[in-house]
A and B are shown apart, each in its own frame.
Chain A
Protein backbone atom coordinates (compact mmCIF):
# COMPACT_ATOMS: atom_id res chain seq x y z
CA UNK A 1 0.00 0.00 0.00
CA UNK A 2 2.82 2.32 0.98
CA UNK A 3 4.68 1.62 -2.26
CA UNK A 4 1.52 2.29 -4.24
CA UNK A 5 1.05 5.63 -2.51
CA UNK A 6 4.69 6.56 -3.15
CA UNK A 7 4.25 5.75 -6.83
CA UNK A 8 1.39 8.15 -7.11
CA UNK A 9 3.45 10.84 -5.43
CA UNK A 10 6.36 10.19 -7.79
CA UNK A 11 4.03 10.32 -10.74
CA UNK A 12 2.62 13.69 -9.73
CA UNK A 13 6.10 15.05 -8.97
CA UNK A 14 7.29 13.92 -12.38
CA UNK A 15 4.53 15.95 -14.04
CA UNK A 16 5.22 18.93 -11.79
CA UNK A 17 8.98 18.85 -12.39
CA UNK A 18 8.50 18.63 -16.15
CA UNK A 19 6.35 21.76 -16.16
CA UNK A 20 8.50 23.70 -13.71
CA UNK A 21 11.84 23.04 -15.34
CA UNK A 22 10.83 23.84 -18.90
CA UNK A 23 8.84 26.81 -17.58
CA UNK A 24 11.93 28.02 -15.76
CA UNK A 25 14.01 27.68 -18.92
CA UNK A 26 11.48 29.71 -20.89
CA UNK A 27 11.41 32.35 -18.18
CA UNK A 28 15.12 32.96 -18.77
CA UNK A 29 14.10 34.66 -22.03
CA UNK A 30 11.99 37.31 -20.33
CA UNK A 31 13.38 40.70 -21.36
CA UNK A 32 15.76 39.21 -23.94
CA UNK A 33 13.46 37.90 -26.68
CA UNK A 34 14.09 38.53 -30.39
CA UNK A 35 11.05 40.79 -30.73
CA UNK A 36 8.70 42.26 -28.14
CA UNK A 37 5.60 40.25 -29.11
CA UNK A 38 7.53 36.98 -28.83
CA UNK A 39 9.14 38.01 -25.56
CA UNK A 40 5.59 38.31 -24.26
CA UNK A 41 4.54 34.99 -25.81
CA UNK A 42 7.40 32.94 -24.36
CA UNK A 43 6.89 34.55 -20.95
CA UNK A 44 3.22 33.71 -21.16
CA UNK A 45 4.05 30.09 -21.86
CA UNK A 46 6.51 30.10 -18.95
CA UNK A 47 3.74 31.43 -16.72
CA UNK A 48 1.28 28.76 -17.83
CA UNK A 49 3.82 26.01 -17.23
CA UNK A 50 4.76 27.29 -13.79
CA UNK A 51 1.05 27.47 -13.03
CA UNK A 52 0.64 23.83 -14.06
CA UNK A 53 3.65 22.90 -11.94
CA UNK A 54 2.08 24.63 -8.94
CA UNK A 55 -1.15 22.66 -9.36
CA UNK A 56 0.73 19.38 -9.45
CA UNK A 57 3.04 20.32 -6.54
CA UNK A 58 0.10 21.37 -4.40
CA UNK A 59 -1.54 18.04 -5.05
CA UNK A 60 1.70 16.16 -4.34
CA UNK A 61 2.10 18.12 -1.09
CA UNK A 62 -1.41 17.05 -0.09
CA UNK A 63 -0.56 13.41 -0.78
CA UNK A 64 2.69 13.63 1.18
CA UNK A 65 1.36 15.58 4.17
CA UNK A 66 3.82 16.46 6.99
CA UNK A 67 3.73 20.22 6.30
CA UNK A 68 4.98 19.68 2.78
CA UNK A 69 4.17 22.61 0.49
CA UNK A 70 4.58 23.40 -3.18
CA UNK A 71 7.68 25.37 -2.22
CA UNK A 72 9.38 22.69 -0.14
CA UNK A 73 8.96 20.40 -3.15
CA UNK A 74 10.29 22.90 -5.69
CA UNK A 75 13.01 24.47 -3.58
CA UNK A 76 14.26 21.85 -1.14
CA UNK A 77 14.71 18.73 -3.23
CA UNK A 78 18.07 17.92 -4.85
CA UNK A 79 18.99 17.01 -8.41
CA UNK A 80 18.59 13.30 -7.89
CA UNK A 81 15.06 13.74 -6.60
CA UNK A 82 13.87 15.71 -9.63
CA UNK A 83 11.96 13.59 -12.11
CA UNK A 84 11.63 15.80 -15.18
CA UNK A 85 12.52 14.54 -18.63
CA UNK A 86 15.95 15.48 -19.95
CA UNK A 87 14.33 17.49 -22.74
CA UNK A 88 12.88 20.02 -20.28
CA UNK A 89 16.24 21.02 -18.81
CA UNK A 90 18.18 21.52 -22.06
CA UNK A 91 19.59 25.07 -22.31
CA UNK A 92 17.86 27.79 -24.33
CA UNK A 93 20.89 28.39 -26.56
CA UNK A 94 19.25 30.22 -29.46
CA UNK A 95 15.63 30.84 -30.44
CA UNK A 96 15.62 27.78 -32.77
CA UNK A 97 16.50 25.42 -29.93
CA UNK A 98 14.02 27.03 -27.58
CA UNK A 99 11.28 26.80 -30.18
CA UNK A 100 11.99 23.21 -31.09
CA UNK A 101 12.23 22.17 -27.43
CA UNK A 102 8.83 23.78 -26.83
CA UNK A 103 7.31 22.26 -29.94
CA UNK A 104 8.45 18.74 -28.98
CA UNK A 105 7.30 19.24 -25.42
CA UNK A 106 3.96 20.91 -26.20
CA UNK A 107 3.11 18.19 -28.71
CA UNK A 108 3.81 15.64 -26.00
CA UNK A 109 1.79 17.54 -23.39
CA UNK A 110 -1.08 18.05 -25.82
CA UNK A 111 -1.63 14.33 -26.38
CA UNK A 112 -0.69 13.48 -22.80
CA UNK A 113 -3.22 15.81 -21.16
CA UNK A 114 -5.95 14.65 -23.54
CA UNK A 115 -5.56 11.22 -22.02
CA UNK A 116 -4.92 12.39 -18.47
CA UNK A 117 -8.34 14.07 -18.52
CA UNK A 118 -9.77 10.56 -18.22
CA UNK A 119 -7.64 9.65 -15.21
CA UNK A 120 -9.58 8.05 -12.36
CA UNK A 121 -7.79 10.50 -10.07
CA UNK A 122 -10.12 13.50 -10.04
CA UNK A 123 -7.34 15.93 -9.15
CA UNK A 124 -5.16 14.84 -12.05
CA UNK A 125 -8.11 14.86 -14.38
CA UNK A 126 -9.07 18.41 -13.36
CA UNK A 127 -5.53 19.74 -13.73
CA UNK A 128 -5.24 18.11 -17.15
CA UNK A 129 -8.48 19.61 -18.37
CA UNK A 130 -7.41 23.11 -17.40
CA UNK A 131 -3.86 22.70 -18.70
CA UNK A 132 -5.02 21.35 -22.04
CA UNK A 133 -6.51 24.71 -22.99
CA UNK A 134 -3.17 26.38 -22.37
CA UNK A 135 -1.15 23.69 -24.10
CA UNK A 136 -3.34 23.88 -27.19
CA UNK A 137 -2.14 27.44 -27.60
CA UNK A 138 1.50 26.52 -26.82
CA UNK A 139 1.37 23.87 -29.49
CA UNK A 140 -0.06 26.20 -32.09
CA UNK A 141 2.47 28.90 -31.30
CA UNK A 142 5.50 26.62 -31.21
CA UNK A 143 4.55 24.65 -34.33
CA UNK A 144 4.00 27.87 -36.26
CA UNK A 145 7.41 29.09 -35.20
CA UNK A 146 9.07 25.78 -36.01
CA UNK A 147 7.60 26.01 -39.52
CA UNK A 148 8.54 29.66 -39.88
CA UNK A 149 12.16 29.03 -38.91
CA UNK A 150 12.54 25.83 -40.90
CA UNK A 151 11.08 27.41 -44.00
CA UNK A 152 12.37 30.98 -43.46
CA UNK A 153 15.93 31.76 -44.54
CA UNK A 154 18.96 29.58 -45.18
CA UNK A 155 20.36 30.69 -41.81
CA UNK A 156 17.20 29.88 -39.85
CA UNK A 157 16.89 26.55 -41.69
CA UNK A 158 20.45 25.59 -40.71
CA UNK A 159 19.78 26.57 -37.11
CA UNK A 160 16.73 24.33 -37.03
CA UNK A 161 18.78 21.43 -38.38
CA UNK A 162 21.26 22.02 -35.58
CA UNK A 163 18.43 22.22 -33.06
CA UNK A 164 17.07 18.86 -34.25
CA UNK A 165 20.55 17.42 -33.93
CA UNK A 166 20.79 18.73 -30.35
CA UNK A 167 17.34 17.72 -29.12
CA UNK A 168 16.12 14.67 -30.99
CA UNK A 169 18.03 12.30 -28.70
CA UNK A 170 15.93 13.51 -25.75
CA UNK A 171 12.55 12.77 -27.33
CA UNK A 172 12.65 8.99 -26.83
CA UNK A 173 12.38 9.33 -23.07
CA UNK A 174 8.97 10.99 -23.40
CA UNK A 175 7.42 7.65 -24.42
CA UNK A 176 9.38 5.16 -22.31
CA UNK A 177 7.59 4.44 -19.05
CA UNK A 178 9.51 4.05 -15.82
CA UNK A 179 8.20 2.07 -12.90
CA UNK A 180 5.93 4.69 -11.31
CA UNK A 181 4.33 5.38 -14.68
CA UNK A 182 3.61 1.69 -15.24
CA UNK A 183 1.98 1.48 -11.83
CA UNK A 184 -0.04 4.59 -12.68
CA UNK A 185 -1.38 2.89 -15.80
CA UNK A 186 -2.25 -0.26 -13.86
CA UNK A 187 -4.04 1.74 -11.20
CA UNK A 188 -5.99 3.75 -13.75
CA UNK A 189 -4.74 7.23 -12.87
CA UNK A 190 -1.74 7.36 -15.24
CA UNK A 191 -1.43 7.63 -19.01
CA UNK A 192 0.02 4.86 -21.14
CA UNK A 193 2.60 7.03 -22.86
CA UNK A 194 3.52 4.39 -25.40
CA UNK A 195 0.07 5.02 -26.90
CA UNK A 196 0.71 8.68 -27.68
CA UNK A 197 3.99 8.14 -29.48
CA UNK A 198 2.36 7.73 -32.90
CA UNK A 199 0.26 10.86 -32.50
CA UNK A 200 3.36 12.77 -31.47
CA UNK A 201 5.33 11.45 -34.41
CA UNK A 202 2.60 12.30 -36.88
CA UNK A 203 2.30 15.87 -35.63
CA UNK A 204 6.08 16.34 -35.74
CA UNK A 205 6.35 14.74 -39.19
CA UNK A 206 3.65 17.01 -40.61
CA UNK A 207 5.22 20.14 -39.16
CA UNK A 208 8.69 19.15 -40.35
CA UNK A 209 7.35 18.58 -43.83
CA UNK A 210 5.84 22.05 -43.91
CA UNK A 211 9.06 23.42 -42.45
CA UNK A 212 11.10 21.61 -45.16
CA UNK A 213 13.03 19.80 -42.42
CA UNK A 214 14.08 16.16 -42.55
CA UNK A 215 13.30 13.75 -39.73
CA UNK A 216 16.37 12.10 -38.19
CA UNK A 217 16.95 8.42 -39.02
CA UNK A 218 15.24 5.76 -36.89
CA UNK A 219 18.44 4.51 -35.30
CA UNK A 220 19.42 7.69 -33.39
CA UNK A 221 20.42 6.73 -29.85
CA UNK A 222 17.89 7.97 -27.33
CA UNK A 223 19.07 9.31 -23.98
CA UNK A 224 17.07 8.61 -20.87
CA UNK A 225 17.30 8.85 -17.10
CA UNK A 226 15.67 12.14 -16.16
CA UNK A 227 12.47 10.56 -14.92
CA UNK A 228 14.53 8.47 -12.51
CA UNK A 229 16.68 11.34 -11.32
CA UNK A 230 19.69 10.77 -13.58
CA UNK A 231 19.96 14.18 -15.21
CA UNK A 232 22.26 16.08 -17.50
CA UNK A 233 24.74 18.43 -15.82
CA UNK A 234 22.45 21.36 -16.58
CA UNK A 235 19.82 20.63 -13.95
CA UNK A 236 22.16 21.21 -11.01
CA UNK A 237 22.82 24.75 -12.21
CA UNK A 238 19.14 25.48 -12.68
CA UNK A 239 18.44 24.35 -9.13
CA UNK A 240 21.44 26.16 -7.65
CA UNK A 241 20.05 29.38 -9.05
CA UNK A 242 16.38 28.72 -8.46
CA UNK A 243 16.74 27.40 -4.90
CA UNK A 244 19.37 29.82 -3.65
CA UNK A 245 17.23 32.00 -1.35
CA UNK A 246 15.36 29.10 0.19
CA UNK A 247 18.65 27.33 0.85
CA UNK A 248 20.47 30.41 2.16
CA UNK A 249 17.68 31.39 4.61
CA UNK A 250 16.19 28.12 5.86
CA UNK A 251 12.64 28.43 7.11
CA UNK A 252 12.21 32.08 6.10
CA UNK A 253 8.91 33.37 4.73
CA UNK A 254 8.95 35.28 1.46
Chain B
Protein backbone atom coordinates (compact mmCIF):
# COMPACT_ATOMS: atom_id res chain seq x y z
CA UNK B 1 0.00 0.00 0.00
CA UNK B 2 1.55 3.35 -1.01
CA UNK B 3 1.08 6.64 0.84
CA UNK B 4 -1.83 7.78 -1.29
CA UNK B 5 -3.67 4.60 -0.62
CA UNK B 6 -2.88 4.67 3.09
CA UNK B 7 -4.17 8.21 3.32
CA UNK B 8 -7.30 7.23 1.40
CA UNK B 9 -8.06 4.23 3.60
CA UNK B 10 -7.32 6.39 6.64
CA UNK B 11 -10.07 8.81 5.63
CA UNK B 12 -12.49 5.96 5.05
CA UNK B 13 -11.71 4.49 8.44
CA UNK B 14 -12.16 7.91 10.04
CA UNK B 15 -15.58 8.25 8.33
CA UNK B 16 -14.45 11.22 6.23
CA UNK B 17 -16.32 11.31 2.92
CA UNK B 18 -14.34 10.95 -0.29
CA UNK B 19 -15.03 13.87 -2.65
CA UNK B 20 -14.64 14.04 -6.44
CA UNK B 21 -11.27 15.84 -6.43
CA UNK B 22 -9.72 13.58 -3.79
CA UNK B 23 -7.24 10.91 -4.77
CA UNK B 24 -8.87 7.49 -4.94
CA UNK B 25 -7.76 4.05 -6.11
CA UNK B 26 -8.75 3.38 -9.69
CA UNK B 27 -10.67 0.30 -8.60
CA UNK B 28 -12.71 2.33 -6.08
CA UNK B 29 -13.58 4.74 -8.90
CA UNK B 30 -14.54 1.93 -11.26
CA UNK B 31 -16.59 0.10 -8.63
CA UNK B 32 -18.53 3.26 -7.88
CA UNK B 33 -19.12 4.08 -11.55
CA UNK B 34 -20.41 0.55 -12.06
CA UNK B 35 -22.63 0.64 -9.00
CA UNK B 36 -24.00 4.19 -9.34
CA UNK B 37 -24.70 3.84 -13.05
CA UNK B 38 -26.41 0.51 -12.43
CA UNK B 39 -28.48 2.24 -9.79
CA UNK B 40 -29.34 5.09 -12.18
CA UNK B 41 -30.30 2.65 -14.94
CA UNK B 42 -32.53 0.81 -12.47
CA UNK B 43 -34.43 4.02 -11.78
CA UNK B 44 -34.93 4.65 -15.48
CA UNK B 45 -35.81 1.11 -16.53
CA UNK B 46 -37.95 0.90 -13.39
CA UNK B 47 -40.20 3.60 -14.85
CA UNK B 48 -41.41 1.14 -17.49
CA UNK B 49 -43.27 -1.53 -15.49
CA UNK B 50 -45.10 1.13 -13.49
CA UNK B 51 -45.57 3.36 -16.51
CA UNK B 52 -47.47 0.41 -17.96
CA UNK B 53 -50.37 1.33 -15.64
CA UNK B 54 -50.38 5.14 -15.80
CA UNK B 55 -52.99 5.26 -18.55
CA UNK B 56 -55.08 2.59 -16.80
CA UNK B 57 -54.89 3.79 -13.18
CA UNK B 58 -58.35 3.24 -11.67
CA UNK B 59 -59.01 6.71 -10.22
CA UNK B 60 -57.81 10.24 -10.81
CA UNK B 61 -56.12 10.31 -7.44
CA UNK B 62 -54.25 7.06 -8.10
CA UNK B 63 -53.31 8.28 -11.56
CA UNK B 64 -51.86 11.50 -10.18
CA UNK B 65 -49.94 9.67 -7.43
CA UNK B 66 -48.54 7.12 -9.86
CA UNK B 67 -47.46 9.80 -12.32
CA UNK B 68 -45.74 11.71 -9.54
CA UNK B 69 -44.02 8.56 -8.37
CA UNK B 70 -42.71 7.57 -11.77
CA UNK B 71 -41.59 11.15 -12.28
CA UNK B 72 -39.69 10.95 -8.98
CA UNK B 73 -37.87 7.93 -10.34
CA UNK B 74 -36.78 9.90 -13.40
CA UNK B 75 -35.50 12.54 -10.98
CA UNK B 76 -33.59 9.89 -9.02
CA UNK B 77 -32.05 8.72 -12.26
CA UNK B 78 -30.90 12.29 -12.90
CA UNK B 79 -29.26 12.73 -9.48
CA UNK B 80 -27.53 9.41 -9.83
CA UNK B 81 -26.22 10.02 -13.35
CA UNK B 82 -24.93 13.36 -12.07
CA UNK B 83 -23.25 11.65 -9.09
CA UNK B 84 -21.58 9.14 -11.42
CA UNK B 85 -20.42 11.95 -13.71
CA UNK B 86 -18.34 13.37 -10.85
CA UNK B 87 -16.20 10.24 -11.24
CA UNK B 88 -15.24 11.09 -14.80
CA UNK B 89 -17.81 9.35 -16.96
CA UNK B 90 -20.65 10.91 -18.98
CA UNK B 91 -24.35 10.20 -19.11
CA UNK B 92 -24.05 9.28 -22.81
CA UNK B 93 -21.35 6.71 -22.04
CA UNK B 94 -23.44 5.19 -19.30
CA UNK B 95 -26.54 5.05 -21.50
CA UNK B 96 -24.54 3.43 -24.29
CA UNK B 97 -23.39 0.78 -21.83
CA UNK B 98 -26.96 0.14 -20.76
CA UNK B 99 -28.08 -0.24 -24.36
CA UNK B 100 -25.20 -2.51 -25.30
CA UNK B 101 -25.93 -4.79 -22.35
CA UNK B 102 -22.56 -4.05 -20.77
CA UNK B 103 -24.17 -2.28 -17.80
CA UNK B 104 -26.84 -3.98 -15.74
CA UNK B 105 -29.93 -2.72 -13.97
CA UNK B 106 -31.96 -4.31 -11.20
CA UNK B 107 -33.43 -7.60 -12.41
CA UNK B 108 -36.70 -6.95 -10.63
CA UNK B 109 -37.82 -4.74 -13.50
CA UNK B 110 -37.68 -7.69 -15.87
CA UNK B 111 -40.91 -9.00 -14.39
CA UNK B 112 -44.24 -7.88 -15.90
CA UNK B 113 -46.92 -5.76 -14.21
CA UNK B 114 -50.03 -7.77 -15.00
CA UNK B 115 -52.68 -6.21 -12.79
CA UNK B 116 -53.26 -2.98 -10.88
CA UNK B 117 -52.29 -4.81 -7.69
CA UNK B 118 -48.78 -5.14 -9.10
CA UNK B 119 -48.42 -1.38 -8.76
CA UNK B 120 -49.16 -1.79 -5.06
CA UNK B 121 -46.78 -4.72 -4.75
CA UNK B 122 -43.98 -2.81 -6.46
CA UNK B 123 -44.37 0.11 -4.10
CA UNK B 124 -44.57 -2.02 -1.00
CA UNK B 125 -42.11 -4.82 -1.77
CA UNK B 126 -39.79 -3.54 -4.47
CA UNK B 127 -39.44 -0.01 -3.12
CA UNK B 128 -39.38 -1.48 0.37
CA UNK B 129 -36.42 -3.68 -0.55
CA UNK B 130 -34.73 -0.78 -2.34
CA UNK B 131 -35.06 1.43 0.74
CA UNK B 132 -33.17 -1.10 2.88
CA UNK B 133 -30.24 -0.76 0.54
CA UNK B 134 -30.59 2.98 0.04
CA UNK B 135 -30.75 3.86 3.72
CA UNK B 136 -27.46 2.05 4.11
CA UNK B 137 -26.08 4.00 1.15
CA UNK B 138 -26.84 7.38 2.75
CA UNK B 139 -23.70 6.54 4.78
CA UNK B 140 -21.62 5.32 1.86
CA UNK B 141 -18.06 6.63 1.68
CA UNK B 142 -18.38 8.60 -1.56
CA UNK B 143 -19.84 12.03 -0.78
CA UNK B 144 -21.91 12.76 -3.92
CA UNK B 145 -23.45 9.27 -3.85
CA UNK B 146 -24.32 9.54 -0.14
CA UNK B 147 -25.94 12.94 -0.64
CA UNK B 148 -27.97 11.76 -3.64
CA UNK B 149 -29.21 8.91 -1.48
CA UNK B 150 -30.42 11.22 1.27
CA UNK B 151 -32.71 12.99 -1.20
CA UNK B 152 -33.84 9.73 -2.76
CA UNK B 153 -34.67 8.05 0.56
CA UNK B 154 -37.07 10.82 1.52
CA UNK B 155 -39.14 10.18 -1.58
CA UNK B 156 -38.86 6.41 -1.48
CA UNK B 157 -40.52 6.06 1.89
CA UNK B 158 -43.53 7.88 0.44
CA UNK B 159 -43.48 5.43 -2.49
CA UNK B 160 -43.55 2.48 -0.19
CA UNK B 161 -46.49 3.85 1.75
CA UNK B 162 -48.53 4.49 -1.39
CA UNK B 163 -47.86 0.93 -2.55
CA UNK B 164 -49.02 -0.48 0.75
CA UNK B 165 -52.07 1.75 0.63
CA UNK B 166 -53.06 0.35 -2.79
CA UNK B 167 -52.84 -3.20 -1.44
CA UNK B 168 -54.65 -2.32 1.77
CA UNK B 169 -57.58 -0.97 -0.23
CA UNK B 170 -57.65 -4.08 -2.40
CA UNK B 171 -57.36 -6.39 0.61
CA UNK B 172 -60.52 -4.86 2.04
CA UNK B 173 -62.47 -5.15 -1.20
CA UNK B 174 -64.59 -7.96 -2.65
CA UNK B 175 -63.05 -11.36 -3.49
CA UNK B 176 -61.95 -10.33 -6.97
CA UNK B 177 -59.82 -7.55 -5.49
CA UNK B 178 -58.53 -9.69 -2.63
CA UNK B 179 -57.42 -12.29 -5.17
CA UNK B 180 -55.72 -9.61 -7.22
CA UNK B 181 -53.84 -8.51 -4.12
CA UNK B 182 -52.85 -12.06 -3.13
CA UNK B 183 -51.72 -12.93 -6.65
CA UNK B 184 -49.49 -9.85 -6.84
CA UNK B 185 -47.86 -10.60 -3.48
CA UNK B 186 -47.29 -14.19 -4.60
CA UNK B 187 -45.60 -13.12 -7.81
CA UNK B 188 -43.47 -10.28 -6.38
CA UNK B 189 -42.32 -11.75 -3.10
CA UNK B 190 -39.48 -13.97 -4.29
CA UNK B 191 -38.14 -11.59 -6.93
CA UNK B 192 -38.08 -8.88 -4.21
CA UNK B 193 -35.89 -11.10 -2.02
CA UNK B 194 -33.60 -11.60 -4.99
CA UNK B 195 -33.05 -7.83 -5.16
CA UNK B 196 -30.51 -8.09 -2.34
CA UNK B 197 -28.25 -10.10 -4.61
CA UNK B 198 -26.44 -13.39 -4.07
CA UNK B 199 -25.60 -14.69 -0.64
CA UNK B 200 -22.55 -12.98 0.83
CA UNK B 201 -20.65 -16.25 0.44
CA UNK B 202 -21.29 -16.11 -3.34
CA UNK B 203 -20.93 -12.37 -3.90
CA UNK B 204 -17.92 -11.27 -5.95
CA UNK B 205 -17.85 -7.59 -5.00
CA UNK B 206 -18.75 -7.62 -1.33
CA UNK B 207 -15.45 -7.82 0.59
CA UNK B 208 -13.63 -4.91 -0.99
CA UNK B 209 -16.79 -2.79 -1.04
CA UNK B 210 -17.20 -3.31 2.69
CA UNK B 211 -13.60 -2.36 3.34
CA UNK B 212 -14.05 0.83 1.32
CA UNK B 213 -17.39 1.39 3.06
CA UNK B 214 -19.19 1.66 -0.26
CA UNK B 215 -21.42 -1.00 1.22
CA UNK B 216 -21.84 -1.10 4.97
CA UNK B 217 -24.01 -4.15 5.38
CA UNK B 218 -23.95 -7.55 3.73
CA UNK B 219 -26.62 -8.83 1.36
CA UNK B 220 -27.80 -11.46 3.83
CA UNK B 221 -28.18 -8.99 6.67
CA UNK B 222 -30.19 -6.54 4.56
CA UNK B 223 -32.37 -9.33 3.21
CA UNK B 224 -33.09 -10.54 6.73
CA UNK B 225 -34.09 -7.03 7.83
CA UNK B 226 -36.47 -6.85 4.90
CA UNK B 227 -38.05 -10.23 5.64
CA UNK B 228 -38.56 -9.26 9.28
CA UNK B 229 -40.27 -6.03 8.28
CA UNK B 230 -42.53 -7.45 5.57
CA UNK B 231 -43.52 -10.55 7.54
CA UNK B 232 -45.09 -8.20 10.08
CA UNK B 233 -46.63 -5.76 7.62
CA UNK B 234 -48.32 -8.51 5.60
CA UNK B 235 -50.44 -9.31 8.66
CA UNK B 236 -52.09 -5.89 8.39
CA UNK B 237 -53.21 -6.87 4.90
CA UNK B 238 -54.61 -10.14 6.19
CA UNK B 239 -52.51 -11.91 3.56
CA UNK B 240 -49.68 -14.46 3.61
CA UNK B 241 -46.28 -14.54 1.99
CA UNK B 242 -45.83 -17.49 -0.37
CA UNK B 243 -43.22 -19.27 1.73
CA UNK B 244 -44.15 -22.34 3.81
CA UNK B 245 -40.84 -22.06 5.68
CA UNK B 246 -41.45 -18.55 6.91
CA UNK B 247 -41.72 -18.53 10.69
CA UNK B 248 -40.59 -16.54 13.67
CA UNK B 249 -37.43 -17.85 15.31
CA UNK B 250 -37.44 -16.87 18.95
CA UNK B 251 -33.83 -17.81 19.47
CA UNK B 252 -32.44 -15.74 16.59
CA UNK B 253 -34.99 -12.98 17.08
CA UNK B 254 -35.57 -13.07 13.32
CA UNK B 255 -37.85 -14.77 10.83
CA UNK B 256 -36.60 -17.94 9.17
CA UNK B 257 -37.43 -18.13 5.51
CA UNK B 258 -37.11 -20.57 2.62
CA UNK B 259 -34.43 -20.91 0.00
CA UNK B 260 -34.46 -18.53 -2.97
CA UNK B 261 -34.60 -20.11 -6.40
CA UNK B 262 -31.06 -19.15 -7.39
CA UNK B 263 -31.39 -20.72 -10.79
CA UNK B 264 -34.15 -18.24 -11.60
CA UNK B 265 -32.08 -15.41 -10.14
CA UNK B 266 -29.06 -16.10 -12.39
CA UNK B 267 -31.26 -16.78 -15.36
CA UNK B 268 -32.87 -13.33 -15.15
CA UNK B 269 -29.46 -11.71 -14.55
CA UNK B 270 -28.26 -13.37 -17.75
CA UNK B 271 -31.07 -11.76 -19.69
CA UNK B 272 -33.71 -14.47 -19.77
CA UNK B 273 -36.35 -12.84 -17.56
CA UNK B 274 -39.85 -12.43 -18.98
CA UNK B 275 -39.28 -8.77 -19.91
CA UNK B 276 -35.50 -8.30 -20.32
CA UNK B 277 -35.76 -7.85 -24.06
CA UNK B 278 -38.91 -5.73 -23.89
CA UNK B 279 -37.43 -3.33 -21.33
CA UNK B 280 -34.15 -2.82 -23.13
CA UNK B 281 -35.92 -2.44 -26.48
CA UNK B 282 -38.19 0.23 -24.98
CA UNK B 283 -35.20 2.18 -23.66
CA UNK B 284 -33.32 1.92 -26.95
CA UNK B 285 -36.38 2.95 -28.91
CA UNK B 286 -36.93 6.04 -26.74
CA UNK B 287 -33.27 7.00 -27.14
CA UNK B 288 -33.09 6.40 -30.88
CA UNK B 289 -36.41 8.09 -31.63
CA UNK B 290 -35.33 11.03 -29.49
CA UNK B 291 -32.05 11.51 -31.37
CA UNK B 292 -33.48 14.10 -33.78
CA UNK B 293 -34.91 16.06 -30.84
CA UNK B 294 -31.54 16.21 -29.07
CA UNK B 295 -29.82 17.18 -32.33
CA UNK B 296 -32.36 19.94 -32.98
CA UNK B 297 -31.93 21.33 -29.45
CA UNK B 298 -28.17 21.39 -29.90
CA UNK B 299 -28.37 23.01 -33.35
CA UNK B 300 -30.69 25.70 -32.05
CA UNK B 301 -28.50 26.37 -29.01
CA UNK B 302 -25.48 26.77 -31.28
CA UNK B 303 -27.32 29.23 -33.52
CA UNK B 304 -28.36 31.29 -30.50
CA UNK B 305 -24.79 31.27 -29.20
CA UNK B 306 -23.51 32.44 -32.58
CA UNK B 307 -26.06 35.26 -32.71
CA UNK B 308 -25.25 36.40 -29.19
CA UNK B 309 -21.58 36.36 -30.07
CA UNK B 310 -22.25 38.38 -33.22
CA UNK B 311 -24.40 40.79 -31.23
CA UNK B 312 -21.63 41.29 -28.69
CA UNK B 313 -19.11 41.99 -31.44
CA UNK B 314 -21.43 44.46 -33.15
CA UNK B 315 -22.12 46.24 -29.88
CA UNK B 316 -18.39 46.52 -29.28
Q: Which residues of A contact B (CB under 8 A)?
A: 20, 24, 27-28, 30-40, 43-44, 46-47, 50-51, 53-54, 57, 70-71, 74-75, 94-95, 147-149, 151-153, 155-156, 159, 241-242, 244-246, 249, 252-254
What are the residues of chain A within 8 A of B78 when measuring CB–CB? 36-37, 40
- B51 engages A30 (CB within 8 Å): yes
The answer to whether the Cβ of B290 comes within 8 Å of any Cβ in the partner chain is yes
How far, in whole Å, are A159 and B60 apart by their CA atoms in the complex?
A: 33
Q: Scan residues 47-103 of chain B and give those whose CB is less than 8 A from a CB of chain A.
A: 47-48, 51, 54-56, 58-64, 67-68, 70-71, 74-75, 77-78, 81
Q: List 16 A-B contacts (CB under 8 A).
A: A24-B55, A27-B63, A27-B67, A30-B47, A31-B51, A33-B290, A34-B289, A35-B290, A43-B70, A44-B71, A148-B297, A152-B299, A156-B295, A244-B56, A246-B58, A252-B58
The answer, among B54, B55, B289, B300, for a CB contact under 8 Å with A148, is: B300
Q: How far is the CB of A28 from chain B (nearest CB, A)?
A: 6
The answer to whether the Cβ of B173 comes within 8 Å of any Cβ in the partner chain is yes
- A36 engages B289 (CB within 8 Å): no
- A53 engages B295 (CB within 8 Å): no
- A242 engages B286 (CB within 8 Å): no
Q: How far is the CB of A29 from chain B (nearest CB, A)?
A: 9
Tell me whether A32 and B295 are in contact in the complex, defined as CB-CB below 8 angstroms, given that A43-B74, A47-B68, A50-B67 are known contacts: no
The answer, among B44, B47, B290, for a CB contact under 8 Å with A95, is: B290
The answer to whether the Cβ of B316 comes within 8 Å of any Cβ in the partner chain is no
- B77 engages A51 (CB within 8 Å): no
Other A-B pairs, 4, CB within 8 Å; known A30-B71, A155-B296: A30-B70, A47-B67, A148-B300, A253-B173
What are the residues of chain B within 8 A of A53 when measuring CB–CB? 60
The answer to whether the Cβ of B303 comes within 8 Å of any Cβ in the partner chain is yes
Tell me whether A249 and B177 are in contact in the complex, defined as CB-CB below 8 angstroms, given that A40-B74, A40-B75, A71-B59 are known contacts: yes
What are the residues of chain A within 8 A of B74 when measuring CB–CB? 30-31, 36, 39-40, 43
Mostly, the B contact residues are helix
- B169 engages A254 (CB within 8 Å): yes
The answer to whether the Cβ of B114 comes within 8 Å of any Cβ in the partner chain is no
What are the residues of chain B within 8 A of A70 when measuring CB–CB? 60
What are the residues of chain A within 8 A of B169 when measuring CB–CB? 253-254
Interface size on B, residues (CB 8 A): 49
The answer to whether the Cβ of B176 comes within 8 Å of any Cβ in the partner chain is yes
Q: How far is the CB of B10 from chain A (nearest CB, A)?
A: 37
- B299 engages A51 (CB within 8 Å): no
How far, in whole Å, are A245 and B57 apart by their CA atoms in the complex?
A: 8
- A43 engages B67 (CB within 8 Å): yes
Q: How far is the CB of A85 from chain B (nearest CB, A)?
A: 20
- A151 engages B303 (CB within 8 Å): yes
- B64 engages A51 (CB within 8 Å): yes
What are the residues of chain A within 8 A of B61 when measuring CB–CB? 54
6 closest Cβ pairs, A-B complex: A34-B290, A152-B296, A156-B296, A31-B47, A31-B51, A254-B58
- A36 engages B116 (CB within 8 Å): no
What are the residues of chain B within 8 A of A31 when measuring CB–CB? 44, 47-48, 51, 70, 74, 282, 286
The answer to whether the Cβ of B229 comes within 8 Å of any Cβ in the partner chain is no
- B56 engages A241 (CB within 8 Å): yes
How far, in whole Å, are A155 and B290 apart by their CA atoms in the complex?
A: 12
In this complex, what residue of B is CB-closest to A242? Answer: B55
Q: How far is the CB of B308 from chain A (nearest CB, A)?
A: 14
Tell me whether A71 and B60 are in contact in the complex, defined as CB-CB below 8 angstroms, given that A30-B54, A155-B295 are known contacts: yes
- A36 engages B292 (CB within 8 Å): no
What are the residues of chain B within 8 A of A32 when measuring CB–CB? 51, 282, 285-286
What are the residues of chain A within 8 A of B170 when measuring CB–CB? 254
In this complex, what residue of A is CB-closest to B293? Answer: A34
